Amino acid sequence: MKPINLLAIVLGFAAIAIFPIIVPNPYYIHLVETIMIYAILLFGLDIVVGYTGQVSLGHAGLFGVGAYTAGVLFLHFHAPIYVTVPVAILVTAAFGAILALPALRVTGPYLAMVTLAFGTIIQILINEMDWLTQGPMGLRVPKPHLEGVAMSDEHYYWLVAVLMAVAMLVVHRILKSHLGRAFEALRDSPVASDCMGVSVYKYKVFAFVISAGFAGLSGSLYSYSEQYISPNTYNFELTILFLLAIIMGGRKTRLGAVLGAAIIVMLPKLLDDIATFRLVALALAAIVAVGAIVAVSRKIAHPKQLAIPVLGTIGLAVFAYSLKNITDWRLTIFGLMILLVVYYLQDGIVGFVKKCRDLLRGERSMAPAPAVDGRDAISAAAQGGPDQILLAKDLLMQFGGVKALNQVDLTVKRGTIHGLIGPNGSGKSTMMNVLTGIYVPTAGSIKFVEEMIQGKSSAHIALGGIARTFQNVQLFGEMTALENVLVGLHHTFNSTLPEVALRLPRAKREEQEATARAMNLLNFVGLADLAMEEARNLPYGKQRLLEIARALALDPRLLLLDEPAAGLTAPDIKELVAIINKVRDHGITLILIEHHMDMVMAICDTVTVLDFGQKIAEGTPAEVQADEKVVEAYLGGEAA
Ligand SMILES: Nc1ncnc2c1ncn2[C@@H]1O[C@H](COP(=O)(O)OP(=O)(O)OP(=O)(O)O)[C@@H](O)[C@H]1O
């Protein structure tokens, strides 16, 4: 972490710590306490929304489960806080698992729908189960007792502040670890994640369960903070407010979560009083106007782009001063402000401020890349095994009436480069997808080394030693080049969640070793200088090389390259050929799909030709080139 960021965090927490002393008003102490409690929930919700890209509409329900677990344990057993809070975390995480396990099996909006139903059911259950929860009457939870004495408001505030700091640190460590990278990768490209051995399903569920645990912690602290809980607090509106807090504060930032929490707690209160609202509206209009003038004068933005936010905020300020009474307008104004943020600050307030800072500095702040230690990036794991490393027999892949693969046999010899060519639509990519478990073949068998892999999951096949690149590059765009390769190295991590949260020696060591290895892999493909650049910002040719480095991180025995030279310039192709030869020299077997015939003929040992899903020829490049069927089906077609 940069010293300036660390200093800001220390100062922030110092300000939080002395707040009750400077402002000894119980109302404001409670307000800041609520912001901190919501922030804990938002740290967790951001893992699901910001990192894995899922939408949960059930976090108010989970918050309620946490609050009621603490409340019920106190009501029925007089359990102390050091029992109620951990139990609330575990119970809420268990609810999260029950929700996520079936809902995340399928893709699409199912999680949103299931969590929406869950939120409603939880409210009904709390209402109906009077024997446990005292139903609509709600229940009282006094401030926790420590050694027989009830905590004062200030002491409880400090306890919440400490727990928020711990929650922030734990979430930060999780997200900067191999677990966080897995969460982010599966959002950017689920198919590539699975093919890197990172099971999308497993990590989506894991993210949701962790997030539920934080909702449990937050809910249990809320029950002591409010000292009275009732079912109607945990409603759909609260869920929407939580989501808005993430969007307004900014995805993928802890500061954004705190800011988001502050907005959803403070904004409704600011809108209660017309004088405060006028002040806020005026300040907002002034900030936006000054910002727009700076942006236009520095040619960062076009006046047209800024017209609506500037006129909108000025309009809001004029409206504020023309209003006599704010009560009837509160919700409308709240809604308008949200719309403005959602439309114009898509990365949230923190994302927007960061962007402005980078633009004003004229460059993006990039951390320095770790050193390349020059050790061989490719492990010896690829060497050895049977002579015929891959044996596919009678492969049939049918899509409705289309037979994309029709009784195809494919034998690949260890240590060779095996070309797979054919006209467009002949079934080459389908073959790749079948070999990597993306498609389950309709019939036929695939033996890889000693294992039959047909029907196995992509993650299983990847971990078994088959890595691949994609015809349409499938990088994790928002992650750096280094992080992309680290996702490929996910299989080298064994540290568990507690080890990551506590930064125990194994977690630290694995991270250091993987980072050094990833840098060597980047160096292997000539990308060490671009290690800290986001993958989406790399030139196309470099993106293809990065995909190869990421695939090599899996320590594959067999590497499948799907049109690696597509869209590359002549010098890039030369570089690519050199890298492919280097990979083969390390004992890794390759299957290469390519339309660049010169390249195929120059580097392949064996070539298989497909046409309309059938194998029409196989042999050395020279044999295949001389084959009449090939000339007719493919080379002839191209010549014509
Ligand atoms: N998921 C799918 N659903 C339906 N049809 C598919 C699917 N995937 C591939 N096909 C069909 O299977 C046939 C083979 O396609 P495939 O993409 O494997 O060809 P290809 O040789 O890789 O072509 P190209 O060189 O253009 O990438 C095509 O007719 C294609 O339309």
Q: DSSP characters for 165-202? A: HHHHHHHHHHHTSHHHHHHHHHHH-HHHHHHTT--HHH
CB of 425 shorter than 6 A to ligand 1: yes
CB of 423 shorter than 6 A to ligand 1: no
Q: Do 404 and 443 lie in a common domain? A: yes
Residue 372 inside a domain? The answer is no
pLDDT of residue 346: 80
**Which of 395, 402, 472 to probe ligand 1 with, by most ligand atoms within 8 A of CB?**
402
Cα angle 145, 147, 148 (rounded to 5 degrees) comes to 60
Nearest residue to 185 (alpha-carbon basis) of 54, 51, 55: 51
Number of domains making up the chain = 3
Report the nearest atom of ligand 1 relative to the CA of 610.
Answer: 21
Q: Do 440 and 353 lie in a common domain? A: no
DSSP secondary structure string for all residues of 113-173 = HHHHHHHHHHHHHHHH-HHHH-GGG-EE-PPPEETTEEPPHHHHHHHHHHHHHHHHHHHHH
CB of 542 shorter than 6 A to ligand 1: no
Q: Do 352 and 467 lie in a common domain? A: no
Distance 425 CA to ligand 1 centre (A): 5
Q: Do 323 and 203 lie in a common domain? A: no
Q: Do 192 and 327 lie in a common domain? A: no
Distance 427 CA to ligand 1 centre (A): 6
Distance 405 CA to ligand 1 centre (A): 9
Q: Do 322 and 394 lie in a common domain? A: no
| DSSP character at residue 442 | S
Q: Is 10 helix (H, G, I), strand (E, B) or coil?
A: helix
CB of 327 shorter than 6 A to ligand 1: no
CB of 403 shorter than 6 A to ligand 1: no
Report the nearest atom of ligand 1 relative to the CA of 595.
Answer: 25
What letters, b where the CB count within 10 A reaches 16 and e where it falls short, cover 332-361?
ebbeebbebbeeebebbbbbbbbeeeeeee
pLDDT of residue 190: 94
Both tokens of 161, joined, read: 């502040």
* Domain end (from 228, 246, 270): 270
pLDDT of residue 634: 66
Which single residue is written with the structure tokens 């990551």?
Answer: 500
CA-to-CA distance for 459 and 185, rounded, in angstroms? 13
Q: Look at ligand 1, atom 10, and give the residue with the nearest C-alpha.
A: 404
Q: How many CA atoms lie within 13 A of 446 on its CB side?
A: 26
CA-to-CA distance for 123 and 235, rounded, in angstroms? 7
pLDDT of residue 364: 61
Q: Do 330 and 305 lie in a common domain? A: yes
CA-to-CA distance for 342 and 324, rounded, in angstroms? 28
Q: Is 58 helix (H, G, I), strand (E, B) or coil?
A: coil
Residue 521 inside a domain? The answer is no
CA-to-CA distance for 600 and 587, rounded, in angstroms? 19
Nearest residue to 561 (alpha-carbon basis) of 488, 477, 471, 474: 471
CA-to-CA distance for 418 and 498, rounded, in angstroms? 44
Q: Do 233 and 333 lie in a common domain? A: no
Contact 173, 501 (CB under 8 A): yes
Contact 118, 58 (CB under 8 A): yes
Distance 506 CA to ligand 1 centre (A): 45
CA-to-CA distance for 17 and 32, rounded, in angstroms? 11
pTM of the model: 0.90
Residue 538 inside a domain? The answer is no
pLDDT of residue 640: 41
Q: Cα 525 to chain center, whole Å?
A: 26
Distance 14 CA to ligand 1 centre (A): 60
**ipTM, interface predicted TM-score of the complex:** 0.96
Q: Look at ligand 1, atom 18, and give the residue with the nearest C-alpha.
A: 427
Both tokens of 601, joined, read: 């003929």
pLDDT of residue 362: 66
Report the nearest atom of ligand 1 relative to the CA of 397.
Answer: 12
List the CATH number of the domain containing 631: 3.40.50.300
CB of 433 shorter than 6 A to ligand 1: no
Q: Which domain holds residue 347?
A: 275-361
Nearest residue to 222 (alpha-carbon basis) of 103, 395, 68, 115: 68
Residue 264 inside a domain? The answer is yes
Q: Do 148 and 262 lie in a common domain? A: yes
Contact 522, 482 (CB under 8 A): yes
Residue 377 inside a domain? The answer is no
Q: Do 195 and 260 lie in a common domain? A: yes
Taking 70 as the pLDDT cut, the residues of the chain under it are 1, 362-365, 380-383, 634-640
Q: How far is CA 161 from CA 80, 137, 367, 469, in A?
A: 19, 30, 30, 46
Contact 53, 184 (CB under 8 A): no
Residues linked to residue 468 through DSSP beta bridges, in sequence order:
560
CB of 432 shorter than 6 A to ligand 1: no
Cβ neighbours of residue 32 under 8 Å, at least 6 residues apart?
16, 19, 157
Residue 95 inside a domain? The answer is yes
What letters, b where the CB count within 10 A reaches 16 and e where it falls short, cover 589-622?
bbbbbbbbbebbbebbbbbbbbbebbbbbbeebe
Identity at 446, one-letter amino acid code = I
CB of 427 shorter than 6 A to ligand 1: yes
- Helices vs. strands in the chain: H and E counts, helices first: 27, 14
CB of 402 shorter than 6 A to ligand 1: yes
DSSP secondary structure string for all residues of 264-303 = HHHHHHHTTSHHHHHHHHHHHHHHHHHHHHHHHHTTSS-H
Q: Do 311 and 421 lie in a common domain? A: no
CB of 192 shorter than 6 A to ligand 1: no
Q: Look at ligand 1, atom 8, and give the residue with the nearest C-alpha.
A: 430
Q: Look at ligand 1, atom 12, and give the residue with the nearest C-alpha.
A: 404
Identity at 444, one-letter amino acid code = G
Q: Look at ligand 1, atom 16, and give the residue with the nearest C-alpha.
A: 427
Contact 214, 44 (CB under 8 A): yes
List the CATH number of the domain containing 263: 1.10.3470
The span from the first CA to the last CA of the chain, in angstroms, equals: 60
CB of 428 shorter than 6 A to ligand 1: yes
Distance 472 CA to ligand 1 centre (A): 13
Residues linked to residue 609 through DSSP beta bridges, in sequence order:
421, 617
CB of 472 shorter than 6 A to ligand 1: no
CB of 430 shorter than 6 A to ligand 1: yes
Residue 570 inside a domain? The answer is yes
CB of 626 shorter than 6 A to ligand 1: no
Contact 245, 264 (CB under 8 A): yes
pLDDT of residue 357: 80
CB of 405 shorter than 6 A to ligand 1: no
Stated as kind and residue range, the H or E segment containing 448 is strand 443-448
Both tokens of 44, joined, read: 């967790």
pLDDT of residue 639: 44
* Domain end (from 217, 247, 270): 270
Nearest residue to 567 (alpha-carbon basis) of 547, 593, 546, 539: 539
CB of 399 shorter than 6 A to ligand 1: yes
Q: Do 310 and 417 lie in a common domain? A: no
Structure confidence by residue, pLDDT tens digits, 135-175:
999 999 999 988 778 899 999 999 999 999 999 999 999 99
User: Taking the alpha carbons of 355, 358, 362, 368 in that order, is the dihedral positive or negative?
Assistant: negative
Residue 9 inside a domain? The answer is no
| DSSP character at residue 51 | I
* Domain end (from 270, 291, 319): 270
Distance 261 CA to ligand 1 centre (A): 48
